[in-house]
Structure 1
């Protein structure tokens, strides 16, 4: 068989043709269908109408209650929204007043701080204190950057570092307490 003959046939080579589907013949109703008498049918119809009426009444009652609940919710939500807006407005006004007061006093406070700082910086103990503080911050930062090189698994190393830091702070407090009053220009001005 040639390719053209095979393509022209209804299926693969040697296959039989598919038979025609059977047709259904209509016949009068008989068998498993229950026939109800007219008076019984009227009773069933009235019961169904009664059930439908009850369902409709229940649905209307539910709809009425749902509308009432929605109305109450909307009213309550409006009240809550109004309270929230009032609270936010009040807090905004308080923040605005605080910011305004802060910036209005900023110039006075800054000038007082600068005047006090210039008086304090005339004392050499304060200058040495500032230099020591800045040096401590720089040393701490370098220690932070080099922390992977410092072996902190030994408690002795940690104890030595802690003792050195504590000793330097104690010495600083002692020297500041002893020499600050000698060079204090404020007490001599009075």
Structure 2
């Protein structure tokens, strides 16, 4: 027996143990050839199936690409149609606005030749200016005093009634449309 651990290890390497019960896995030559042939057939069959699947996939992708192009063309056509429709609608609306504005301008220019209408416009502008002044000076006006509110209401009512009377009396006399 070995005296040291190193000597025991060296002796074990020089004399490996012999096992007699290890099975030998040797395949006979005819069976080996049959296994090789079967493996080649399975491999060839798998390659053939992969190629067929690849061809089918390519065909399917081409069809999807064509359908995609078709759908894209339909979408573009739809957008172009909608844009054309919107353009014609806006054009028609613009023409309507233009004719209405032109008609309103013509009517306004004829009406402003009547002095009664011109005076009404000036009184209206004065009323707007007075309303603006009241709005800016409202902190100084005592709206709690009923006399102040009553005077303002009476002045406004009197001006509206006077305007109505003068309009009904003098407007037909100066109307350019009836001449």
**Normalised-by-shorter TM-score class:** 0.5 to 0.7
Instruction: State yes or no: 1:46 paired with 2:25.
Output: no
Matched residues in 2 for 1:74 and 1:54: separation?
A: 30
Matched residues in 1 for 2:61 and 2:75: separation?
A: 21
Q: How far has the Cα of 1:137 moved from its partner?
A: 4.2
Matched residues in 1 for 2:113 and 2:41: separation?
A: 104
Q: How far has the Cα of 1:71 moved from its partner?
A: 1.0
Match of 1:16 in 2: none
Match of 2:78 in 1: 83
Larger gyration radius, structure 1 or structure 2: 2
Matched residues in 2 for 1:175 and 1:128: separation?
A: 13
Q: TM-score, normalised by structure 1?
A: 0.52
Matched residues in 2 for 1:118 and 1:169: separation?
A: 32
Match of 1:56 in 2: 51
Match of 2:164 in 1: 181
Bigger proportion of residues as helix: 2
Matched residues in 2 for 1:52 and 1:107: separation?
A: 81
Match runs of 1:1-190 below 5 Å: 37-104=32-99, 106-117=101-112, 119=114, 120-123=117-120, 126-137=121-132, 174-184=157-167, 185-187=170-172
Gaps of 5+ in 1: 1-34, 144-149, 151-159
Matched residues in 2 for 1:128 and 1:63: separation?
A: 83
How many residues align structurally?
Answer: 135
Any idea what the Cα deviations from partners look like across 1:37-73, whole Å, max 9, x if unmatched? 4432332232222222212211211211121122122
Matched residues in 2 for 1:76 and 1:87: separation?
A: 16
Any idea what the Cα deviations from partners look like across 1:53-111, whole Å, max 9, x if unmatched? 21221121121112112212212322332232233223223322432454355444212
Match of 1:30 in 2: none
Matched residues in 2 for 1:46 and 1:168: separation?
A: 114
Matched residues in 1 for 2:100 and 2:75: separation?
A: 38
Is 97-106 or 70-79 further displaced after alignment?
97-106
Pairwise CA RMSD: 3.9
